Structure 1
Amino acid sequence: MIKEGYTSNERIKEESDFLRGNISNLLHDDSITHFPSEEEFLLKFHGITQQDNRDERLIRKKNGQGRNWLFMLRLRLPGGRITPSQWLAAETLSDQFGNGTLKLTTRQAIQIHGVVKQDLKQTMKDIHHAAITTIAASGDATRNVMVSLHPEDSGIHETVFNQAQELSRKLEPQTHAYHEIWLDAKRIYSGEEEEPLYGPGYLPRKFKIAFTLPPENDVDVYAQDLSFVAIEKEGKLLGYDILAGGGMGYAYGNPGSFPRLADIIGFCFPEQVEEVARQVLLIHKEFSTRSNRKTSRLRYTIAGKGLGWFTNELATRLPFPLQEAKPFSLSTNGDAADVPGRQTIEIEGGRIQNSNRQQLKTAFHEIASIHQGDFFITGNQNLVIDGITPDTAVRIKSIIRKYNLLPNDSGLRRNSSACTSLPFCPQALTDSERLLPKLVDELESQLKELGLWDEEISIRMTGCPNGCSRPYLAELAFVGRGPGKYNIWMGGSRRGDRLGFVYQESVSVKEIVDVLRPVFARFAAERNQGEGFGDWSIRSLHPQSL
């Protein structure tokens, strides 16, 4: 029953018959090229986002045409792991039904853009045949579970990775609607037993989980609703420190929304992870507001009711006490250093395509055709070729050289990431992925003059304040404010454990380079030995330090 004051989305979920809605009937209606708003919302739970090419809107309108409706499909890949055969399948699907590119996301997932409505069902079937799912890759449920490590590195790494994958599976929605709509399965459920965890109303908003083993932190554990930081001693996994209540997005003009770092709330043993996750999720489900989607995330519930309330509520639900948190230290939210048999390839903006700069699509097609290990997508949108065998090492290295996959990039470019934004994202206020490489081109000339070419500076860009690239943790970030304008953030740490601050608001694209020129000059002249840009800027430029 929908309570008074709830948003319309709550009614849509409750009345959707566990995410079925009218999707199936509309899917087979060839007279329409897109879905109405209610089914558009439900499609997100199936990992599908309805979009249009916003670059074409004005011209099409002048020509008396409607929007060019397209769909983005998000592949759910816990821990970012994808096999070479799955990679080739995703590539084929993008070529056959999409725009011929793949987008690696900051949640270690893959987006396929440009699918038209008439091809949706076949694309979803083919994704299933590749042993991949899109369920809850978006929507008000547990999203893709992130993991900041490689299972082959040690027994602990394998244990943590497998536990994260198992938790991802346990927290997936159980509705049979996905199989009925996309895979032609017969209905086998009726009633609420179909969703024993979520129920018909699912969550107020999304729920994000990450795992890491220090010192790595490319998953940004402080930016998640719930994180598990593995604690080891003498080569054995003791358990996990638990962090809760982090998140990045906020809304302009709404002081009740804000980015927030997660709090460390305790320690649990490995066998207790699932129950901790379930109960934190249920607190979010039961207490986060359903009356305002802009503030219906767990972090606002914790901030509003207090951390003490949250930990007490969790304690009453758990059949075991949480232990005191153990000390841990994170070194970087960049990607982990490579080891023999592993090669990380930086993917600017996460976009796998053939361009004038690099033939990434062709290169990875050739690598996937011979690679006997796995690929891993990092939280920084890069791709790791893991498990390179002696049989293929020479050929893979030859492909890397042939396509210049390891260019002598600046430290700034090596640590850049950007959301999709225009022309496809409906939320975008301005450019991100298309602009950041050009902006870095201009900034690099300054860095080279100042002797900062190799300086590792994390730089992130988003086309709106939702913060998909987690910009508020970056040392330098650009957050879309309006067409061609950005708020410049700086002061995040390379460890991913500190929020930055707004250095300047509503800076036009043409002004950004000039605004940053004196900042970089001061950094080069004033920084302490070994001091990074984020640490220097929070010390020297933050309003409270002046």
Structure 2
Amino acid sequence: MSEKHPGPLVVEGKLSDAERLKKESNYLRGTIVEDLDNGLTGGFTGDNFLLIRFHGMYQQDDRDIRAERAEQKLEPRHAMMLRCRLPGGIITPTQWLAIDKFAANNTIYGSIRLTNRQTFQFHGILKKNVKPAHQMLHEVGLDALATANDVNRNVLCTSNPIESELHQEAYEWAKKLSEHLLPQTRAYAEIWWDKEKVATTDKEPILGETYLPRKFKTTVVVPPHNDIDLHANDMNFVAIAENGKLIGFNLLVGGGLSLEHGNKATYARTASEFGFLPLDQTLAVAEAVVTTQRDWGNRTDRKNAKTKYTLERVGVETFKAEVEKRAGFTFEPIRPYEFTTRGDRFGWVKGIDNQWHLTLFIENGRLLDYPDRPLKSGIAEIAKIHQGDFRLTANQNLIVAGVPESEKAKVEAIARSHGLMENVTAQRENSMACVAFPTCPLAMAEAERFLPDFVTRVEAIMNEHGVGDEHIVLRVTGCPNGCGRAMLAEIGLVGKAPGRYNLHIGGNRIGTRIPRMYRENINEEEILISINELVGRWATEREADEGFGDFTIRAGIIRPVLDPARDLWE
């Protein structure tokens, strides 16, 4: 990103109301305990509606029945979405069986949703079951602390089952980063685990009394697999190895995908390279990045509060120099690295440790027992016999990791009998959507429910043009907040209104380029007409091994986004 007229380090002005809320929250306690005992409403009231997000929950309601309930003079059917903290996405079979049982017995929908934040969510937890949910997680060594709102959220890590030793080192750093950057307040333990209130004064040495200006996302990525989409995240540690051993990280800062329709002061942005650091500087540098964003991030306008906007306002070099000053460390030049893939590798693969790993495609990450496809029960049956672990991927899929040769046939038989190993196309494997309707309050258009049939229609187009064995990275998100990562896709649909989307093209397969809007506010039929035309040209005019997004740039169909802060909206 270019350095153009660096602005003030701190934005002066009236603070947003979120800043008042955090300051008055008594370190995230609010009156949540009292609200839990309020039987007059199924939801949380006042500031608690937002405060519970720091505790890993969003209050939602079923939008499919909202109007009907209003007509009956009933409040919306409030229920909570709870997101687990699961650094690196690794979970044990014992833990899995506990969450499987809870989902079946204590949620409205009965499903487990794997997210592209490499964790799982429960949807539809009624207020009476909220505390039991947190206690169940605690009993198996998990929690939901800091998976939402203005904190460092779940730390992602490349799901690499092949190079087991290198992955293990990277995963350990993902855990260390997660723990180091967690809120220090004991509010979570007091409220949900009934821990005694400690008399000492709460302190937040890293996050501060009013926490961060906005959400903050961190990753550890092991090249050449960009499976965690590093450019969607604020702080990224790119693993650098020598002779199979991790020696340090390249640091990239300031990625982010959310924007607001029509607001040219908002934009998607790829992360900027800062430099290389040895392993012993990792936590100090991470803390310095977080505290710099804490102090310099915009607290007057939440739409411009993320790290990407701070970098653009003060300048990348100014931000980097402050990180070096706070960490007492000078970055070395970036070490060479390259990304060649970002999708998951499905089916069985053998690791260098002679263990087998089975990657299962889970469409939209939704684990539920469907007629003739009892997916959720299938994973539970595998968990009952599996001695390794499960790895949730940032593409909403699941890896049964660490399977010895002697157990391989047994695991596969369970997977096949429960519909977990059906043949799917490369196109379907490389398509993804956020949750959207009916539970997400921000959704403007369908995404998860829209995607399966839409992909079927895209597959027909691909087959018609003779490229049915290939794929285009396709993402659908129900609003412009970026959860489906459509702004790193070759074809990205961003919800604009019910049944209508903005069509973005021109990203690339490895996820290092932002796509540009090609057509605005169009319906499914109009989208498919455009895709048919574009795929037809790609099939006949492309160069050898040229991806769809790269083709649309080379052919002059769309201009590349080179400087998103200045030309994304042109």
- SS class of match (1:266): strand
Q: Please tell me the residue identity of whatever aligns with 2:516.
A: F
Q: 1:326 aligns with which of 308, 330, 335?
A: 335
Q: 2:545 aligns with which of 517, 526, 530?
A: 530
2:482 maps to 1:473: no
Q: Please tell me the residue identity of whatever aligns with 2:400.
A: I
Q: Please tell me the residue identity of whatever aligns with 1:494.
A: R
2:140 maps to 1:125: no
Report the equivalent of 1:497: 512
Show CA shifts across 1:101-139 (max 9, x none): 011111101010001111111111111112111000111
Q: Please tell me the residue identity of whatever aligns with 2:165.
A: G
State the alpha-carbon separation in 2 of the partners of residues 372 and 159 from structure 1: 21
State the alpha-carbon separation in 2 of the partners of residues 429 and 541 from structure 1: 31
State the alpha-carbon separation in 2 of the partners of residues 461 and 205 from structure 1: 24
Q: Please tell me the residue identity of whatever aligns with 2:59.
A: Q
Report the equivalent of 1:116: 126
2:443 maps to 1:446: no
Range with greater deviation from structure 2 (131-140 or 359-368): 359-368
2:180 maps to 1:170: yes
Report the equivalent of 2:353: none
- SS class of match (2:256): coil
State the alpha-carbon separation in 2 of the partners of residues 430 and 274 from structure 1: 40
Range with greater deviation from structure 2 (355-364 or 516-525): 355-364
Report the equivalent of 1:367: 382
Report the equivalent of 2:189: 179
Distance 1:243 1:357, change over 3 A: farther
State the alpha-carbon separation in 2 of the partners of residues 65 and 281 from structure 1: 43
Instruction: Check the 8 A contact 2:56/2:83 in 1, yes or no.
Output: yes
Q: 2:452 aligns with which of 420, 437, 442?
A: 437
Question: What is the deviation of 1:357?
Answer: 6.9
- SS class of match (2:149): coil
Question: What is the deviation of 1:151?
Answer: 6.8
Question: What is the deviation of 1:315?
Answer: 2.1
2:407 maps to 1:398: no
Show CA shifts across 1:241-276 (max 9, x none): 010010010111211111000011100000101011
Show CA shifts across 1:45-95 (max 9, x none): 000100000010111112222211110000111001111111111111111
Q: How does 1:504-523 map to 2 (within 5 A)?
A: 504-523=519-538
2:71 maps to 1:97: no
Instruction: Check the 8 A contact 1:94/1:101 in 2, yes or no.
Output: yes
Q: 2:31 aligns with which of 17, 22, 28?
A: 22
State the alpha-carbon separation in 2 of the partners of residues 191 and 199 from structure 1: 13
Report the equivalent of 2:4: none
State the alpha-carbon separation in 1 of the partners of residues 530 and 254 from structure 2: 34
Query: What are structure 2's unaligned runs of at least 5 residues?
Result: 1-11, 351-355, 561-570
2:216 maps to 1:201: no
Q: How does 1:23-62 map to 2 (within 5 A)?
A: 23-62=32-71
Show CA shifts across 1:523-543 (max 9, x none): 111111111112112222543
Report the equivalent of 1:276: 285
State the alpha-carbon separation in 2 of the partners of residues 441 and 141 from structure 1: 38
Range with greater deviation from structure 2 (433-442 or 395-404): 395-404
- SS class of match (2:65): helix
Instruction: Check the 8 A contact 2:161/2:401 in 1, yes or no.
Output: no
Report the equivalent of 1:243: 252
State the alpha-carbon separation in 2 of the partners of residues 263 and 140 from structure 1: 22
Report the equivalent of 2:227: 218
- Cα RMSD of the aligned pairs, angstroms, is 1.6
Q: Report sequence identity in percent.
A: 38
2:157 maps to 1:157: no
Query: What are structure 1's unaligned runs of at least 5 residues?
Result: none
- SS class of match (1:261): coil
Instruction: Check the 8 A contact 1:422/1:431 in 2, yes or no.
Output: yes
- SS class of match (1:543): coil
Instruction: Check the 8 A contact 1:17/1:200 in 2, yes or no.
Output: no
Question: What is the deviation of 1:406?
Answer: 2.5
State the alpha-carbon separation in 1 of the partners of residues 205 and 199 from structure 2: 12
State the alpha-carbon separation in 2 of the partners of residues 442 and 291 from structure 1: 44
Instruction: Check the 8 A contact 2:159/2:227 in 1, yes or no.
Output: no
Range with greater deviation from structure 2 (258-267 or 496-505): 496-505
Distance 1:464 1:495, change over 3 A: same
Question: What is the deviation of 1:344?
Answer: 0.6
Report the equivalent of 1:379: 394
2:149 maps to 1:139: yes
2:243 maps to 1:234: yes
State the alpha-carbon separation in 2 of the partners of residues 516 and 357 from structure 1: 32
State the alpha-carbon separation in 1 of the partners of residues 462 and 338 from structure 2: 30
TM-score (norm 2): 0.92
Q: Please tell me the residue identity of whatever aligns with 1:402.
A: S
- SS class of match (2:82): strand
- SS class of match (2:403): coil
Show CA shifts across 1:408-447 (max 9, x none): 2222101111111110011111110000101011111111
Q: 1:308 aligns with which of 287, 297, 317?
A: 317
Instruction: Check the 8 A contact 1:241/1:264 in 2, yes or no.
Output: yes
- SS class of match (1:55): coil
Q: Please tell me the residue identity of whatever aligns with 2:464.
A: E
Question: What is the deviation of 1:359?
Answer: 2.3
The alignment covers a number of residue pairs equal to 543
Distance 1:541 1:69, change over 3 A: farther
Q: 1:287 aligns with which of 262, 287, 296?
A: 296
Instruction: Check the 8 A contact 2:35/2:45 in 1, yes or no.
Output: no
Show CA shifts across 1:385-415 (max 9, x none): 1011234212111112223323222221011
Report the equivalent of 1:81: 90
State the alpha-carbon separation in 2 of the partners of residues 152 and 506 from structure 1: 43
Instruction: Check the 8 A contact 2:493/2:502 in 1, yes or no.
Output: yes
State the alpha-carbon separation in 2 of the partners of residues 515 and 59 from structure 1: 37
Q: Please tell me the residue identity of whatever aligns with 1:254.
A: N
Range with greater deviation from structure 2 (429-438 or 118-127): 118-127
Q: Please tell me the residue identity of whatever aligns with 1:266.
A: G
State the alpha-carbon separation in 2 of the partners of residues 300 and 357 from structure 1: 48
Instruction: Check the 8 A contact 1:75/1:109 in 2, yes or no.
Output: yes
State the alpha-carbon separation in 1 of the partners of residues 223 and 329 from structure 2: 25
Instruction: Check the 8 A contact 1:176/1:189 in 2, yes or no.
Output: no
- SS class of match (1:65): coil
Instruction: Check the 8 A contact 2:159/2:393 in 1, yes or no.
Output: no
